[in-house]
Amino acid sequence: MRNISKDTTPSPGQSGQETAGGRCSITSIHLGLVALNVLIFTLAIAIGLRVHVLLSNQKLDACQNDRAIEQQRADQLNRTLVRNIERSNMLCNTVRNLSESLCPRGWKVQKQKCYKFSKDNRNWNTAKQQCESQKSHFVIINTLEEQNFITKYVKDKIEAYWIGLTDGAEEGKWKWVDGSTVR
């Protein structure tokens, strides 16, 4: 029998550890550890990116939900506003119709006041008595708007109309039929 001796001195670049298939070098173990570290690091980055994307998507979804809720609130507010405007218009029309229905037939309505433009040829005193017999009085013009309304109506008419202005108490001192002075 021959004695076979094994060389137990590792050559440069070898670890000196034996395995069933031969020897492993330290370099290959280090490369394996580096590769494992790179793999773990890459996996950690991938997981971190995935978590970041998920959180970003959650924030985006929350923002979109908030935006949708705000849009719904704005839409509801607009619908409420439109309904209120429609109700207001209906109320204005109702008031207008009521004021018109409160005026006798043939009278004109302006700002919830009734006006009758009579074509009767009477003197001032007789016409005034006729107005009073209808539970009315000659017009007393208090605003420019009222003056414009009356002027517009009588502008192109041939007839003359009496108003509630007189100097009957004292010649040249004009007063309205309610006793107020001309402004």
**Tens-digit pLDDT profile for residues 85-118:** 888 888 888 777 765 567 888 888 888 888 888 8
Taking the C-alpha atoms of residue 136 and residue 116, their distance in angstroms, rounded to an integer, is 9
pLDDT band at 129, cuts 50/70/90? very high
What does the pLDDT read at residue 5? 46
Report the alpha-carbon distance of residue 114 to residue 148 in Å, rounded. 15
Arithmetic mean of pLDDT, 137-166: 89
For residue 21, the model assigns a pLDDT of 57
| Tens of pLDDT, residues 76-85 | 999 998 899 8
The torsion angles phi and psi of 21, rounded to 5 degrees, stand at: -100, 0
Give the single-character DSSP code of 181.
B
Which structure tokens are listed for 159? 């007839």
Residue 73 has a pLDDT of: 92
DSSP count for the chain of H helices, then E strands: 3, 6
Tokens linked to 46: 């991938």
CA separation for the pair 147, 151 (Å, rounded): 6
Q: For the chain, give the percent of residues with pLDDT over 70.
A: 84
| Beta-strand runs (E) in the chain | 18-19, 22-23, 108-110, 113-115, 165-166, 175-176
Per-chain mean pLDDT for the chain:
83
What pLDDT is stored for residue 145 in this prediction?
Answer: 93
Per-residue pLDDT at 14:
47
pLDDT tens-digit readout, 47-80: 999 999 999 999 989 889 999 999 999 999 999 9
